[in-house]
């Protein structure tokens, strides 16, 4: 009986951990989407440069999108160089 309770408890702990990870992922994606919305519409080069510098790498890192952040930042920086 104790073994069954221990297994049930471990299962419950794992379930809670997965739920927490999913919630963190959802919240982080929403935060990244909000951050990306600032790039919509027309803006000056200075505004674009400021917004590029304000991209929060911690949000991307939190859900394993480090390379996505790096590529996004490099692409925006390259675009800024080309329009200068």
Q: In order along the chain (84 residues), what is the average pLDDT of each group of 10 residues?
A: 90 95 94 88 87 89 91 91 83
pLDDT of the residue at 33? 92
The two structure tokens encoding residue 18: 């997965």
| Cα 82 from Cα 84, distance rounded (Å) | 6
Q: What is the pLDDT of residue 38?
A: 84
Residue range(s) defining the domain that contains residue 22: 2-83
Contact 62, 24 (CB under 8 A): yes
Has this prediction a pTM greater than 0.85? no
Q: What is the pLDDT of residues 58-79, one digit of tens each?
A: 999 999 899 999 999 999 999 8
**Number of domains the chain contains:** 1
Residue 58 has a pLDDT of: 92
């Amino acid at each position: 009986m104790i073994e069954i309770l221990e297994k049930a408890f471990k299962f419950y702990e794992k379930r809670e951990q997965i739920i927490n990870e999913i919630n963190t992922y959802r919240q982080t994606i929403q935060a990244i989407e909000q951050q990306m919305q600032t790039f919509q519409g027309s803006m000056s080069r200075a505004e674009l440069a400021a917004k590029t510098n304000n991209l929060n790498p911690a949000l991307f890192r939190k859900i394993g999108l480090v390379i996505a952040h790096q590529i996004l930042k490099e692409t925006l920086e390259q675009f800024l160089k080309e329009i200068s």
